[in-house]
Structure formats: C-alpha cells, structure tokens
Structure 1
Amino acid sequence: MSEPQVLVFDVNETLIDVESMSPLFEKIFGDARVMREWLGHLFTYSMTATLSGLWTDFFTLGQGLLTMVGDIHGVEITPEDVDDVKEAMLTMPAHPDVEPGLAALSEAGFRLVTLTNSPSNPGGRTPLEHAGLARYFERRFTVEAARAYKPAPQVYHLVDQSLGVPPSSCFMVTCHVWDSVGAQSAGFSAGLITRRGNAPLPVAALPRPDLVAPDLPALAGLLIERRRT
C-alpha cells in the first residue's frame, strides 16, 4: 500500500448512522429488524440496476423497495410511510466517532472527499449536510455522474479522474466489504471500519482491506502513523 493522499469516504453507514431509521421500521412493520432487510435489498437492487445497464436514483429505489418489502410482509405501505422513509434517509445523524476522526485526518493534512450512492438532493440539504459533516470535505461525489452504483469501477474513477490524481493515491474508507473490494479493484487502497454487522471477508481470491479498525479515530491513527514513518 502506497501512502494515500486522498481519503475517499463512503457516507451511508460509514459516516452516518442507518440504525437511526430502525424506530421508523418498528412503527411501520412492528419489527425494527426489517430495516436491515430493506437495506440489504437496497444494496442488492442498486447493483442489479448497474449490472443490467439500468438507472434510477437511490432514494427512488429505496421508496420502491419499501413497498416491495411491505408486500413480502403483508404490510400496506402508505404514502405517509414512503415520505417518512425518504425524510429519514435524508436526516440520519453522524456516528459519534466520526467528527473526531475527520478532524484528526484533516489536521494531519489528508485531502478528504466523499463518494456516495445517495443523490445530491437539488434544492435541499444532503444527508452529509444534515449530519453536520459537509465542512470537512473538499469535494462530494455522487454516483449520479456515472449513472451507475458502487462497486462499478467507473464510479471510483469519478474521483481520481476529477481530481487529476492516480488511483493509487486514493484510499477508500468504508464499512462495507463490497465497497472496499470495488475500490481496490479500481486501483485504490482501502480501509474497513467494522461497524455493527460488518467484518473482513476471508476469501483468497478477493482483496482484503489494507487497514481494519473498529471506528474512525482508530483508522485515523493508523493512517497518521503510516504517514509519520
């Protein structure tokens, strides 16, 4: 792993807390665990759209999947439920460890950008802005420009090509193994934050994360230590 110059952050679940939506799913379905089922479908069908050469934005997909999951569970989804989930997707809070980690990395001189599946929300605030984190990032990239979802290689290359840097200078920070694998396949290095429900994947044919840490301050410490040595 070469010394990274640009740290590229995933947003959903890595920086902002998707578990904040669980009470809403408890209200709609009577079971907060359905949130994770819905989220898994959201990742699966975003990748399905890309592999099929199709496109719809993440929020529209999420709203449609809410109705699908409702049908699976025999729960009628109302327009109010759809609106509530859209609002929840826009207003998730940051994980408590995120701001200290970002502050340490910024102070150490790393360039910080984001790369997210979430759309830009024209005319309104983005999830990153709602979470109070936007000020830490020099650029905020969304998959809309590529009309494809992570982990498609062209999505990661949006970052290095837009910034005019080689892929090897970029380091993906994510809590999703599918995201770290995608980034590494595009020439990035990657660090995995082991948020709840996430862990390294021990498969020899797939790249392992270059760094693994339980939270962002711990990962920041590893990156800063490498820069000093």
Structure 2
Amino acid sequence: MNHNLTTPATGEPADGEWIGGEPSVLVFDVNETLIDFESMDPLFEKIFGDGRVMREWLGHLFMYSMTITLSGLWESYFTLGQGLLKMVGDIHGVEVTDADIEEIRQAMLTMPAHPDVEPGLSRLKDAGFRMVTLTNSPSNPHGPSPLEHAGLAHFFERQFTAETVRAYKPAPQAYHLVAQGLDVPPSTCFMVAAHVWDTVGAQSAGYTAGLITRPGNAPLPVHSLPQPNLVALDLPALATQFIQLWRS
C-alpha cells in the first residue's frame, strides 16, 4: 500500500512514497534529533571564545565519520571527536588541553533532550509503536548512556550503535543492523532524523523516513534523491502525522 504524503510546511505533495506497508518500527537517530548538542555551546565559548565553533566541530565530526567509513577505516566516535577538537583548535589558533577534551567528553554523555522530545515520544508510545534508536555514538559500558542521562531510555526497546558494524551512518550496514537485529524487513522500518543525510541513507537501505527540521536543517530539493516521507518542525508534529496515518 502506497501513500502520497504532504509536508506541513507547504501542504504540497511530498515527493517520497512509502516503500511497503505500515511501518512496524520507528528508528530514531539520537544526536541532535533527540539530544540537544547546543547545550555544549557555553563550553565551546569558554574554550574557543565563540560558541558557534561547536557547529564547526560537529560538522567536521559528521564529515570525517563518513570519510573514514568510505575509506574502509574505523575509529571510535569519541576518539575521532577528540582528535577533531585538536584540529579545530589548530585552525583557530587555540590550545585545546586534555582537560578541555575531558570536559567535552563528559558533556557529550550528559546532554539534555530537546524539550519537545518527551511529549512526542509519549504520544507515539501511547499509540503502540515499537521504537528503537540507531546512533553513531558508542555505547557507554562504564556508565549510563546519553539517552539514560536524558531520561529517554525507557521509551526504547533497544539502543543500536554503528560501532557494532564498524561503519558510520549513512552506510547501509548501520541501517541493516537494526532490521537484522529485530528480524524485520527494512521496508517496515521508519527512520526519524534531523539530518537529510540520515534520511537519505535510511531510504537507500530500504527504510521509509521522516525529517524533523530543527534549526539549521531543511529538506534537500534534489528530486533525483530520496525525499523524506514526512517532514515536521518538531517531534510532536511528526507524531501527529504518523498517528493520523497509522492509528486513525
């Protein structure tokens, strides 16, 4: 069964279509989709004199995680992030100390959720949807995960990480990890993410996908590429669309 969908921002038909039937699993990205990275801006302000450097560093983290995967290499997300902090320091002529790196590492483990996330997840859970997470961040065997710190872990059946397959999203191995781990076809998985590169990767692996357009994010209007099946400004708005489609 295919559904033509609309985007709430424009009311125009969405270019994407459902690949299969009703999604049985909602797969959530964590970083920026659920967790608020901008909570670290004050740390970057303290170290670099400009909180906007956080965005520069995060963009490098996304780019170089993809680079090492495409190059057939592997390094842990935190180790890569620490090296990139030193690189960004060199770019800006700022000495990044080991103490700075440790402070940012701890902050990455304890970031808060976006304020709209818990209401949106509650609506989806109450509607009976299965929910898991898939993140590029590693697990934390020595303590609580970022989701646990943010008070969100209880919403999710399982927490998947790209470190299991040693390939970062948007590599198809990461998305197949979830489908294989849950023993469901990829076509029954629906990716929820704040980044188009993540929705494109998921759809290329056989998922359907929804984009949350958090500040700094928007659909990519290149119609030869997969377009998000749903687009919303925040998670409650996405939940409303999803429930209307599959629970009404």
Provide TM-score, normalisation by structure 1.
Answer: 0.99
2:27 matches 1:8? yes
RMSD: 0.7
For 1:112 and 1:106, how far apart are their aligned partners in 2?
8
2:65 alignment partner, SS class: helix
2:49 to 20, 25, 30: 30
Number of residue equivalences: 229
Write the mapping of 1:132-147 to structure 2, written as runs, cut at 5 A.
132-147=151-166
For 2:63 and 2:39, how far apart are their aligned partners in 1?
21
Match of 1:68 in 2: 87
For 1:213 and 1:47, how far apart are their aligned partners in 2?
26
Question: Which protein has the bigger helix share?
Answer: 1
2:174 matches 1:155? yes
2:200 to 177, 181, 204: 181
Displacement of 1:166 in angstroms is 0.6
Aligned amino acid, residue 209 of structure 1: P
Match of 1:56 in 2: 75
For 1:204 and 1:135, how far apart are their aligned partners in 2?
37
For 1:133 and 1:80, how far apart are their aligned partners in 2?
29
User: Structure 2: 5+ residue runs without aligned partners?
Assistant: 1-17
1:101 to 120, 124, 128: 120
2:68 alignment partner, SS class: helix
Match of 1:92 in 2: 111
Match of 1:193 in 2: 212
2:239 alignment partner, SS class: helix
Match of 2:229 in 1: 210
User: Structure 1: 5+ residue runs without aligned partners?
Assistant: none
Provide TM-score, normalisation by structure 2.
Answer: 0.91
Match of 2:12 in 1: none
1:125 to 144, 154, 158: 144
CA contact (8 A) 2:127 2:247 kept: no
